[in-house]
Structure 1
């Protein structure tokens, strides 16, 4: 009898331990993956029963939870919602969360595996459950400056810290008010969301990190110059034929410089002059000489063809494979099949500013528990060395010349050395251009890398160009932050 009782006791204990281990694994160690599953709406509903952690920028909450007098217990509110929508995203009662609300949902709702012991402590002490707060890298002054400078244009502005990858400002327009999608009325949320989906200007797109990607135009010439210099076969003084028109190899299509003539005077033109004046033909010739494989390899060192989590997911910028010479020539000046986000072009400029090293972009500084203990702190992380220190210094000089004496002159700031490159990207015949600026300042001690992208030709169709519209926006943002 004692032997049988002992067997039953051991079996019961084993079953209990198995159940305890399996439930612990599911509830805590697998919680982040379960929370991230788009099919799991129960976690989203449960998150309203706790006070969700705040999302903070420059010490002030840009998303927070306040008590509500309905079944959801807490209402999510967004301070100056349209300004911060690209960062916070939104938390709906009947759909999927977006932005930081989705990417850091386990931490904000207090369900992350790293918060296991804090959750236990609250249970034993009787404290109300509460999520961790997220302190972002975003600078409120800089975010507002970028918002104001972009004005009514459709496009994006992104500012990063070159030596850390921290994103300091990220604005996309047109935008939306996340408060309209966080109300506790399911039908109202559906109606608001449908109106945004039906809006032809696509306000739900974060144009800084995705959406319908645009060709980068002449800003991609920075990648071209990097490829040439890193090959060891070219210097800024290397020369190229300087015709007024160039027929693409194996094609009847003709490429011209933006002004319609040659790139400055003379039968040949140097690489430095081609970048300073932003000439298309020398870059097309260079692209054919280098070949698409070498260009793609260099582009990928800058981050092309890679998706980054910041922690929100971003779309990969594209440099395709297996291009013929004609297609490769077009990519030499950022046309053809090459596509880029403003984030990616900011990474290119930031790498040049950072001695050739590409840092992984990030929008989070730290995550803090309700008791103010540190849950996690983000550390700068290198992605790759894109170019050598020597190449970075050479390219900085070339970009400064482009602002002081070239095609990016409208980014000039009195008393500050600015390194920059403009771009004017074509689409289909008759379609308005996409206008770009990318660069950094101060050039001799880089603190800020910036990229501006304006769609629809800035309202000027094919009359708009990068130096006319994008460069002054960058100048306004940089002046605001350098003078604060």
Structure 2
């Protein structure tokens, strides 16, 4: 009898061991494959069973969570959705996430291990921490000024604090309300189809995901390259620049919109945007010098993140001198995002140094304690400090005496550069209106803000479109909003 009991006990132990082995195999080895199996809805249900953390602007949450009472319980809501959509992106139960909602998803959803007091214990118990918050660098007044300034026109505005790299405004129009994509019902699917089929592309973030020919705003870089290389030594000396300028090795002739550009000084050419002078300067600096200058400012950099990715701006400095001449005035294959051109203005304002732009000041737990902070960003010297001083002088002249007078602000020093970029087949498309600038209040120790504005469909006759007439007033409103705001930090 005892032997039978021993056999039964041994068999039970064997079954227990088999059960433990099978459980361990399922929980440890097979868990990852079950976790990503489309038929497994547990991760999705768990993801939406608690409120999502918030994105804050100026100390105010511009996002929230609504309890739907459904299986996917909490749904994302937005305050001033179209205003902040290029920053927040969307968090959709059906279509995933975009922009800050995507790059900070782990923190906002509560799955970031940094949120847990005891990460190993939370991982063992599968307890999810409350979602954390993302504190942005945005200045709400500047963001609103940029959005209202663009109005119904297509375009983008980026404002940066030159000394730190903090992004103060990032706007793209036309925009959309990300709340339309939050749920998972038929209305969300219809909104998704409508937004993606819209020829105006409201979901395109023109500030960081669209490149444009920068036109004459690129002349800031060409001037910096010429001054650094010693091609130009005196701002007021006459240059050997014919008008019209026959492009080297070509029968094509480059002309100017205004008069007085023949052999004009760099000061006059910059103030009145003489194409012929800057095209010849680009040829004289050479392909290597122009390419090095553009790259130092940030062109051709595929690694830039703010924290979401930015489309690289590109500069083509071909050995063909005619093409290089056009590249040097922001045409041919030269392309730039508004963020990139704001960085160019910021570098001039900051003594020739540019700091990597960033959008997240810090992240916090739901109770307010800091998880991470941006800290000081490294500076990159993109031109000689003496060159930056001379460019600040030239940009100031543009606003005080030249094509950028619409950006002038009382009780402040403002520097700017206008641009009108041709595009389309035979350059017959409506030109893009550009303006890049920086501003320093009379009581400020250093420039407070650098801005880039591009307007795609300026509402004026083709011949009247210019960065000074269309884009400069928008930049002025943004700069005034920053100058009238208390300094952050």
TM-score between the two structures when normalised by the length of structure 2: 0.86
CA–CA distance in 1 between the matches of 2:27 and 2:462? Answer: 63
Q: 8 Å contact 1:351–1:386 — kept in the other structure?
A: yes
CA–CA distance in 2 between the matches of 1:384 and 1:44? Answer: 43
2:175 is the counterpart of 1:160: no
| Corresponding residue of 1:363 | 359
Q: 8 Å contact 1:181–1:189 — kept in the other structure?
A: yes
CA–CA distance in 1 between the matches of 2:28 and 2:298? Answer: 40
SS at match of 1:49: coil
2:284 is the counterpart of 1:285: no
| Corresponding residue of 1:454 | 455
| 1:117-156 map, 5 Å | 117=117, 129-156=129-156
Q: 8 Å contact 2:231–2:285 — kept in the other structure?
A: no
CA–CA distance in 2 between the matches of 1:125 and 1:19? Answer: 18
SS at match of 1:384: strand
Please give the per-residue CA displacement for 1:361-385, whole angstroms capped at 9, x wherever unaligned: 1110010012322110011312521
Cα gap change, 1:461 to 1:269, in 2 (>3 Å)? closer
2:65 is the counterpart of 1:65: yes
| Corresponding residue of 1:432 | 430
Q: 8 Å contact 1:410–1:472 — kept in the other structure?
A: yes
CA–CA distance in 1 between the matches of 2:88 and 2:338? Answer: 19
Quote the offset at 1:60 in angstroms: 0.8
| 1:184-263 map, 5 Å | 184-185=184-185, 187-211=186-210, 213-235=211-233, 236-259=235-258, 261-263=259-261
Please give the per-residue CA displacement for 1:68-95, whole angstroms capped at 9, x wherever unaligned: 2111111110111000101110011122
CA–CA distance in 1 between the matches of 2:110 and 2:165? Answer: 27
Cα gap change, 1:483 to 1:114, in 2 (>3 Å)? closer
Q: 8 Å contact 1:50–1:129 — kept in the other structure?
A: no
For structure 2, the 5+ residue unaligned runs are 1-13
Quote the offset at 1:480 in angstroms: 2.9
SS at match of 2:135: strand
| Corresponding residue of 2:8 | none
SS at match of 2:91: coil
Aligned residues between the structures: 455
Bigger shift: 273-282 or 143-152?
Answer: 143-152
| Corresponding residue of 1:477 | 478
Q: 8 Å contact 2:254–2:275 — kept in the other structure?
A: yes
Q: 8 Å contact 1:85–1:176 — kept in the other structure?
A: yes
| 1:39-438 map, 5 Å | 46-117=46-117, 129-185=129-185, 187-211=186-210, 213-235=211-233, 236-259=235-258, 261-263=259-261, 268-307=263-302, 308-382=304-378, 384-428=380-424, 429=426, 430-438=428-436
Q: 8 Å contact 1:240–1:285 — kept in the other structure?
A: no
Q: 8 Å contact 2:153–2:458 — kept in the other structure?
A: no
Please give the per-residue CA displacement for 1:417-450, whole angstroms capped at 9, x wherever unaligned: 1011110000123210000110100177200111
Quote the offset at 1:56 in angstroms: 0.6
Quote the offset at 1:241 in angstroms: 2.7
Bigger shift: 141-150 or 122-131?
Answer: 122-131
Please give the per-residue CA displacement for 1:199-251, whole angstroms capped at 9, x wherever unaligned: 1111111111123x210010000000111111134222453234331121122
Quote the offset at 1:479 in angstroms: 2.2
CA–CA distance in 2 between the matches of 1:475 and 1:446? Answer: 14
TM-score between the two structures when normalised by the length of structure 1: 0.87
Cα gap change, 1:462 to 1:191, in 2 (>3 Å)? farther
SS at match of 2:412: coil
| Corresponding residue of 1:445 | 446
CA–CA distance in 2 between the matches of 1:41 and 1:85? Answer: 29
SS at match of 1:442: strand
SS at match of 2:283: helix
Cα gap change, 1:314 to 1:22, in 2 (>3 Å)? farther
Cα gap change, 1:63 to 1:118, in 2 (>3 Å)? farther
CA–CA distance in 1 between the matches of 2:381 and 2:307? Answer: 22
CA–CA distance in 2 between the matches of 1:200 and 1:171? Answer: 19
Cα gap change, 1:335 to 1:20, in 2 (>3 Å)? same
Q: Superposition RMSD on alpha carbons, in Å?
A: 2.9
CA–CA distance in 1 between the matches of 2:202 and 2:126? Answer: 43
SS at match of 2:171: strand
Cα gap change, 1:424 to 1:73, in 2 (>3 Å)? same
Cα gap change, 1:323 to 1:380, in 2 (>3 Å)? farther
Q: 8 Å contact 2:143–2:478 — kept in the other structure?
A: no
CA–CA distance in 2 between the matches of 1:56 and 1:387? Answer: 35
Bigger shift: 446-455 or 103-112?
Answer: 103-112
CA–CA distance in 2 between the matches of 1:202 and 1:41? Answer: 33
Please give the per-residue CA displacement for 1:259-291, whole angstroms capped at 9, x wherever unaligned: 2x441xxx5211122111111000000011112
Quote the offset at 1:167 in angstroms: 0.4
Bigger shift: 40-49 or 394-403?
Answer: 40-49
Cα gap change, 1:271 to 1:77, in 2 (>3 Å)? same
Please give the per-residue CA displacement for 1:172-206, whole angstroms capped at 9, x wherever unaligned: 10000101011341x32221111111111111111
Q: 8 Å contact 2:316–2:324 — kept in the other structure?
A: no
